[in-house]
Amino acid sequence: MAANQIRPVVLIRSGRQNEPVRVPVFPLIQDPLAYTYLTLDTASTAAALQVKSTFGFGTAGPSGDGKNLIIFIGTPGNEGSEIIKTSGTTAAALTSITPLTATSFPHSAGTPIQLILYDQVEFSKASTLTGSKTALATKSIAADALETLYVDTSSGALYEFARYKETVNNTFSDYSDGVINTGYGPLTARKIIDNALSSINKKTSEILSDEFGFSEINNCQMEILRELKRWSFMQEFNKNLGQSTLNGFFVAMPADLDDQNTNKSVYGFRIGKESNMHWVDKEKWNELLEGMAYTTLSTAIALNDVTISVSNSSDFSSSGTVMIGANTYTYTANNKTTNVLTISAATTTNSVGTYAFQGATTGLPEYWTTFGQTLYHYPLIATTYAQISYYADYYKSLTQIVSDADTIVVSDPTVIQYYLAWKFLLKLNNGEETEGSRSQHNSYLIRRETLKRKETAGTSFVLKPRFNDWSRQMNKSFDDSNKRERLGNFPNI
């Protein structure tokens, strides 16, 4: 594992004064660079360690610099465990590792030895989560404890950080997530994982790792979201998508929209203070755009240019007018081989990529559709509606939990805590249910149903199927065209 992939976890107990900042040892040894174990008992002040194999413990080091290596002898939290360096000048034999300095404690045969990247922790603080950090202290990692502690005596609300340091080349890992000195909030992943572990009297370990906790929190949230069609905490209202432009007819979908290719996740789409536009499917959209051709400029237009180069002029008439930006140009020739339109002289400039239209209608947008992760509308934006904000109401996608400070979207953290405790107990018992795991699972199901009842209480809208509106639609007058409905009378479906 690369050095920048390992970073510490910062823990602070909530609601207690003068609590130390705690950095667990486990993340450092979770993925050792090399592993072996002692084959002979070793006395304190040992000058050589007899091991099963020295593969990976050579003098070249992880970076090939020929310097000392850092090894962890023992198990975190066990008395006598220690972190020392190996000799960078004495080549390791097949079954012998030479310490740079003698060991401090005796170790029995079978004691694990792991090659790690860091031997110290630097503690820092900042006034904001993204503010500049001030180093407070650097402490050697406590191998014989589960956590390395530091008491920050600073007053006021501050964010605590930590990063690992190695004393061979004096390099650092990435910083931990910042945590305010009052502790992680109730909706953060770290708080939920810690509460779940506490409820089953366990701590983070190789089996119950943080990565497993993050994964199961994500699974739980996805399971809860599937229980209802819409959850209030996933709704986004009046999201500003940017300003309209003259003759514009599309805007990019918001990045957090759940379904990027259909209208399933969109409640409404509008411009400024106007009413929501009417959704139309792709077939109806094509009917709306009958007679309209469009492309983009392949070359910028400069003042007095007598030609306009576009990406594709094959759909434009042999002569006529073309609307580009705020201007309408009359062209006398259309070379469909070179995609060049001939004009008298350009009076304004336009940049590459600007849309060029023929046969388009401008006005207040009334209809919209979506494809290719883009919201399209028609008519095009008229002068009156240019530089007005687009707004959308939609259902958000679920953001994955990947670190301690990430927060859940589900409004009740306890329901996820029960789910996580259930999954932890299952993992500890190789997937077999026990009385304890069943109890946690039942608590999760009860809490989830309570969450659903609270969510649906007071709901005032009902989604009706389309066939309820057939009678009104069948009473409409139709023309003799083969279109399913008149272009000017699309319903809001």
The pLDDT assigned to 155 comes to 74
pLDDT over 70 at 69, yes or no: yes
**Cα 257 → chain centroid:** 13
pLDDT over 60 at 99, yes or no: yes
Pick the CATH number of 3-25+119-183 from 1.20.58, 2.60.40, 1.10.3470, 2.50.20: 2.60.40
Residue 87 pLDDT level (bands cut at 50, 70, 90): confident
Nearest in space to 406 (alpha carbons), one of 223, 247, 151, 215 = 215
Residue 383 pLDDT level (bands cut at 50, 70, 90): very high
Q: How many CA atoms lie within 13 A of 282 on its CB side?
A: 6
Taking a C-beta distance cutoff of 8 angstroms, is the pair 380, 256 a contact?
no
Query: What is the rounded average pLDDT for all residues in the chain?
Result: 86
Parallel, antiparallel, or unpaired for β 250-252 and 374-378? antiparallel
For range 425-444, the mean pLDDT: 95
Residue 478 pLDDT level (bands cut at 50, 70, 90): very low
**Phi and psi dihedrals of 318, rounded to 5?**
-65, -30
What percentage of the chain has pLDDT greater than the value 70? 88
For range 130-138, the mean pLDDT: 93
pLDDT tens digits, one per residue of 45-59: 888 899 998 888 865
Nearest in space to 126 (alpha carbons), one of 164, 80, 178 = 178
Report the alpha-carbon distance of residue 284 to residue 293 in Å, rounded: 16
Report the alpha-carbon distance of residue 268 to residue 276 in Å, rounded: 6
The pLDDT assigned to 486 comes to 42
pLDDT over 70 at 491, yes or no: no
pLDDT tens digits, one per residue of 311-357: 999 999 999 999 998 889 999 999 999 999 999 999 889 999 999 99
The pLDDT assigned to 213 comes to 94
Structure tokens at 90: 């004495």
Nearest in space to 287 (alpha carbons), one of 489, 493, 492 = 489
- Cα 260 to Cα 13, 128, 265, 409: the distances in Å are 41, 34, 8, 20
Domain ranges (residues) in the chain: 3-25+119-183, 234-395
Report the alpha-carbon distance of residue 255 to residue 249 in Å, rounded: 19
When computed from its CA atoms, the radius of gyration of the chain, rounded to whole angstroms, is 33
Identify whether 379 is preceded by a cis peptide bond (ω within 30 of 0).
Answer: yes
Per-position b or e across 301-310, b if 16+ CB within 10 A of its CB: beeebeebbb
Residue 402 pLDDT level (bands cut at 50, 70, 90): confident
Note the pTM of the prediction, 2 decimals: 0.65
